[in-house]
Amino acid sequence: MKSTENALNWFEIAVNDMNRAKKFYETVFDIEMTQQEMGGMQMAFFPTDDTSGKVGGGLVKSDMHTPVAEGAIIYLNGNPDLALALGKIERAGGKVVMPKTLISDAIGYMAFFIDSEGNKVALHSGQ
């Protein structure tokens, strides 16, 4: 891997109910996700600027995707202050399992939540 490449290229969050999960993430992050079927999988995509080189990803419902609270954890961008998104999680159908916690002054803050589908996901922000 070249040192200028992202370590993460793409992420998928497994869901059982696409409409419920899409509504959850749209509510928590104040975004609009586009939805389509690809290769027999239902998908909803987080907005991204394809020209920025930033990592993209989405929600996926398929026989190969099962929501779990164990395993790899992805950290979603909670900038400018993850408390804004964190405050919407329970109203949207999720559960905060680790509140906003300082990692260090240089790195910022983190929090963990369980989404509407049972996945453990993290947030990170500078504030």
pLDDT tens digits, one per residue of 27-75: 999 999 999 998 889 999 999 876 666 778 999 999 989 999 888 899 9
The pLDDT value recorded for residue 4 is: 59
Could you tell me the domains of the chain?
10-125 (3.10.180.10)
* Nearest partner of 92 among 20, 42, 37, judged by Cα: 20
pTM: 0.86
The pLDDT value recorded for residue 1 is: 46
8 — pLDDT class (breaks 50, 70, 90):
confident
